Amino acid sequence: FFVPYLNCAKSPGSALSSTWVGFDGFFSQANSVEQGGIASDCSANGKATYFAWWEMYPRSEIKAPLRIDPGDSVTASVTYNVTTHNYQIALADNTRRSRFTILRKCPHVVLSGKLLRCPHDSAEIISEAPSTGRKVRIARLADYGAISFTAISITDSRGVRAGIVSPHWNATKIIQLVSSGGPARARPTPVAARTFDTYWLREG
C-alpha cells in the first residue's frame, strides 16, 4: 500500500489511523495479535506524523527505526516459523529501499490465569482507528482519504498460497468501521483476490 497524505484540516484535534497486517484477532477466542504496520496521525495542532511500528499484543506497540513519509510505497508482512516458533515481522519502504525486520516469540503473558496462546489461525489486512489509553477507547479516525492494498498474499500451514479471497480459505470477513451507536467512519470496497480499497468517511 501507499502511505496516505493526511488531511489534518478535516481531522481537528488529535486523530489517528493505522494500516497493518498480522495474525490472529479474527476469532473471538484469540487474545493475541502479531502485527506490523504504519501509523498516520494528526496531532492536536493539526500536524501530520508518520511512523512504522510492530506489536505482539497484548504487549505494547513499539516504533520501528524506519523512516516513513506520505506517498511512500510500503510492503508489510508477518510470517511464522514452525521450526523455531518465531514470528518475523517485516516492514519495507520500497520508495526508500529500506527495511526493518524483527523476530519474536509468542509473549509469555498470563491472562485470566491462563498462559497466552498465539494460535496464528487467521490473517488480517487492516485499516483502522486504533485503540488508545488504559481504558481502551477507539481514537478519532484521521482523514487518510483512501488506501489501496495490492499484491495481497497468504500462505497457510499446508503451504497453500493465494489471495485474501480464495476457495482454499473457509472464511473471509470484511468489517466496516462504525463508531459506537453512530455512522460508519470508513468504507471498504468489495475484496478481489489480491486487492481492496478503503475510503475515509468521517473522524468519529
Q: Is the pLDDT of residue 180 over 70?
A: no
C-alpha cell at 118: 498465539
d(CA 91, CA 103): 12
**13 vs 43, more confident:** 43
Express each pLDDT in 123-173 by its tens digit.
999 999 988 766 668 899 999 999 999 999 999 989 999 998 888 887 777
> Taking the model in full, what pTM does it have?
0.92
pLDDT of residue 192: 80
Query: Sign of torsion, CA 201 44 73 38?
Result: negative
Express each pLDDT in 23-80 by its tens digit.
998 876 668 999 999 999 999 999 999 999 999 999 999 999 999 999 999 999 999 9
**Cβ contact 110:132 at 8 Å:** no
Q: Is the pLDDT of residue 203 over 80?
A: yes
pLDDT of residue 37: 98
Q: Considering only 11-20, 25-34, 160-169, 195-204, which range has the smallest mean pLDDT?
A: 25-34
Q: Is the pLDDT of residue 181 over 70?
A: no
pLDDT of residue 107: 93
Q: What does the pLDDT average to over 15-26?
A: 93
